[in-house]
Amino acid sequence: MSEQPEISHTYETECQRAELLGLQPPDRADFERKRQARLEHELAEQEAAEAVLLEQQDETLGGVGGKLGELNSILSSTQQKLNRFKQTACGSLTNIFSRASSGSVDLTAGGTAAGPTQEERPPVLAAKPPPTAAEVSAAKAAKQKRMDSQLDKLDSLINQADNAQIAMSEQTQQMRRLAK
């Protein structure tokens, strides 16, 4: 399907077209009604496409949140094993040299995993009768709410990623110290 730039369809151009083709000029009220219906239909299609895109983004964010949650779980488990190892193998050396350990990293500060949540779905606009102004404003409000929710999820994912990076760095330093 090739996309061509849409030519501005004004009443005057339709009259000129009809004159060139030897047809009766269109009724102005009928032309405006059809033009408005076409614009509403295009807007409805655009809103439906945006709703599908938001749904896909929600699924992607849920997947990323689950993977970051899994990574943080693995890092927490690794930190527990490092702490146990330090207590058993290095405990006596630590007491001898009075060396302070760096402690563990708190992975719970980042909040919960951003999994898929049950939210209101924006109404899907079909090619049926044009939506009322109230329906359009409700759809816009639902879309804005969903976008805000996605921004909150992104913030949570960024926090989880930061916590994972800090935990990995800390654990790497601890392992290097233990290996010396």
Please provide the average confidence, as pLDDT, over all residues in the chain.
Answer: 76
Q: Mean pLDDT over residues 132-143, rounded?
A: 80
Residue pLDDT, tens place only, 63-96: 888 888 888 899 888 888 888 887 777 655 555 5
- The pLDDT of residue 65 is 85
- The pLDDT of residue 118 is 47
- Cα(121)–Cα(61) distance, rounded to whole angstroms? 16
pTM given for the model? 0.48
Residue pLDDT, tens place only, 100-133: 444 444 555 444 444 444 444 555 544 566 777 7
- The pLDDT of residue 2 is 45
- Cα(171)–Cα(100) distance, rounded to whole angstroms? 15
